A and B are shown apart, each in its own frame.
Chain A
Amino acid sequence: MAVSGKDDVFAPWKDATAEPLIKINGVTKRFGDFTAIDNISLEIYPQEFFALLGPSGCGKTTLMRMLAGFETPTSGVISIDGQDMSTVPPNKRAVNMMFQSYALFPHLSVWENIAFGLRRDGLDKEKIAARVEEMLKLVQLGKFAKRKPHQISGGQRQRVALARSLAKAPKLLLLDEPLGALDKKLRQETQFELMDIQEKTGTTFVIVTHDQEEAMTVASRVAVMDHGQLIQVETPEVIYEQPNSVYVADFIGDVNLIEGSVSGLDSGAELAWAEGRDPLIGQPGASLSKGQSASFAIRPEKIAISAEEPQDRRNRVQGKILDIGYLGNLSTYHVELPDGPIIKCEVGNRSRIERRDFTWEDEVWLSWSDTAGLVLPR
């Protein structure tokens, strides 16, 4: 394990000596002509909370089902804990899955649902009872042990499903859109509960989700997928602040994308974006060459808005306020530049004073530092 001292951040993927729990090596999965997974290689380490993130149809669920054993790779090897999984059926894997529909057995009580997997292992009665009680306590459902799944609420069902999949203490827990069926408030609470449980049990979690906020909140690392390929595999911070492509920048959070071409690479990266205007300056997000067409990506919260022209910043543009969105904690301004593009800019409402500096049709200056934006190849 990579985690040793207190001060060490949990990052086994940076440790060359760390042994991964899951090794996915050149895996491809085809359904007829359709390639669901296209030559993916990936390593997931013990005790990670790993998120597979992407739009529907990107292959994330197929990848998870291959880990569970419900699909077999067309080519390539998946090994878990050093063992090649190609011939191991789902019922012989130390992997459990929490299904999107929860898949609770409707004819069994909550207690019997949780005990189902333990009974298949042929444990004796006292051991099963003790483990089920432990699980019920973990998800705080002791009172509902005798109820049938249709007699409890959606949030409770979600917890039963979690308890059932954790009961056998699997090496790896797979979660398929586990919070998709819950309303927003409950979902946010449950995200933290999941993280708590993951920490308490020390189980490796792999979660599949299309909700980027969820992935960012819970995961130690996020793999952004598209069309059966891994686009970027990194921690949430890196995914957000240093996306390696326009696709990732656009998929995660809000971003302004200004199109142009690379005009210089001396101090950071310069992007020529409009005739007769100073180039925008940012960090190169990937290897770039001069003249290449690229996009300038800047997050709305990194843009400052002011009435006067800021002299100390090289990145500054003037525009007219088109729209103001008041969200309570922050306000969003849509500013139209003379050349057409609309830039979104977010300002935190840090004081309660009812005071609006800008209003519709105001001419304002937008500015940001040289390191706030990224230049990404297109």
Chain B
Amino acid sequence: MRRLSTFNIVSLTLGFAFLYVPMLILVIYSFNESKLVTVWAGFSTKWYGELLQNEAMIDAAWVTIKVAFFSSTLATVLGTMAAYVLVRRGRFFGRTVFSGMIYAPLVMPEVITGLSLLLLFIAIGLDRGVLTIVLAHTTFAMCYVSVVVSSRLVSFDDSLEEAALDLGASPFEAFRLVTLPIIAPAVISGWLLAFTLSLDDLVIASFTAGPSSTTLPIKIFSSVRLGVSPEINALSTIIIAIVTLGVLTASIVSKRQISQRLREEAQAG
């Protein structure tokens, strides 16, 4: 093990403090007895209890998860298809235009995306609700999925797919049996990314949500405007816990897989 110099320790501390002190404070205050967020009055878990009683909050959380699940799944299917065509089907008429257009929503201000979707939904007479948020989230999450998947496809050996065709697989079978299993990690991370983006989104959701379909970010944002309540702190702490758990599990699993693979390759000689 290499020892760290004082300078290294200071930079490390500063960096992590910058990242995590705000969250730490939030977690601490979620266990605050007092109703006033900024005044410490002793340890308590009562806000967690109250949160569970708050039906509007639970409903919003449920809507958010539903929206995130459906939109990320839809976005993964569409995004993977788009990436596949753009990377693997060589040059075709309009390829440059398409590949530029698929990335455009990444740089488009969310307000504009939200507004244009709102106008579209009104124009086609679609009532705003869960469906419209799902469609809106699919639209922008699909670009992220497509970026993640195409970066994997670029390094994919074309001859694998050709070998599948050569052995008698139809083009769709070659994709399903060979390409998809191999790029699966990228597809899954694309899905996770889309899921997270959807959970997180406030701007586009507030344009496209109806009165009956409030998502958690909208709910939190509107209640914070009336003053931060310790309940919100409790909710945020739960979300932080879930995310931390997810990230830790993912990194442990992938680390194990990598070390196992290295071991096996070493044995193969």
Contact = CB atoms under 8 A, between A and B. Distances in A.
Q: Do A and B make up one complex?
A: yes
A116 B160 CA distance: 12
B261 A120 contact: no
Interface string B133-173: 00000000000000000000000010110111111111101
B264 interface: yes
Contacts of B159: 99-101, 103
Contacts of A147: 268
A89 B170 CA distance: 9
Interface in A145-185: 147-148, 150-153, 164-165, 168
Interface in A296-322: none
A371 to B, nearest CB: 47
B265 A120 contact: no
Given A107-B181, A107-B182, A153 B269 contact: yes
Contacts of A91: 165-171
A91 to B, nearest CB: 5
Given A103-B157, A150-B261, A151-B265, A96 B182 contact: no
A68 B168 CA distance: 11
A96 B157 contact: no
State the main secondary structure of chain B at its contact with A.
helix
A339 interface: no
B163 A103 contact: yes
A103 B168 contact: no
B157 to A, nearest CB: 6
B268 A152 contact: yes
Most buried by A among B162, B182, B265: B162
A211 B163 CA distance: 24
User: What's the interface size class on B, roughly?
Assistant: 20 to 34
Interface string A116-137: 1100110000000000000000
B166 A90 contact: yes
B56 to A, nearest CB: 46
B175 to A, nearest CB: 13
A116 B264 contact: no
B264 A150 contact: yes
Contacts of A151: 264-265, 267-268
B163 A97 contact: yes
A121 B168 contact: yes
B156 to A, nearest CB: 11
Interface string A46-59: 00000000000000
Nearest to B174: A91
Given A90-B166, A91-B168, A116-B167, A150 B157 contact: no
Interface residues of A, number: 29
Contact of B178 (A95, A105, A152, A165): A105
A82 interface: no
A278 B178 CA distance: 68
Among B157, B160, B173, the most chain A Cβ lie within 10 Å of the Cβ of: B160
A70 interface: yes
Nearest to A157: B268
Given A151-B267, A152-B268, A105 B168 contact: no
B3 to A, nearest CB: 37
B168 A117 contact: yes
B166 A68 contact: yes
B79 to A, nearest CB: 22
Q: 9 tightest CB-CB pairs across the interface, nearest first? A: A117-B167, A120-B168, A103-B163, A103-B159, A90-B165, A99-B159, A107-B181, A151-B264, A151-B268
Interface of A: 68, 70, 89-92, 95-97, 99-101, 103, 105-107, 116-117, 120-121, 147-148, 150-153, 164-165, 168
30 contacts: A70-B162, A70-B165, A89-B165, A90-B165, A90-B166, A91-B165, A91-B169, A91-B171, A95-B166, A96-B166, A96-B167, A97-B162, A99-B159, A100-B159, A105-B164, A105-B178, A106-B182, A116-B167, A120-B168, A120-B169, A147-B268, A148-B264, A150-B268, A151-B264, A151-B265, A151-B267, A151-B268, A152-B268, A153-B268, A153-B269
Interface of B: 157, 159-160, 162-171, 173, 177-178, 181-182, 261, 264-265, 267-269
Given A89-B165, A96-B167, 19 more contacts: A70-B165, A90-B162, A91-B166, A91-B170, A97-B162, A97-B163, A97-B166, A99-B159, A100-B159, A105-B160, A116-B169, A117-B168, A120-B169, A120-B173, A150-B261, A150-B264, A150-B268, A151-B268, A164-B163
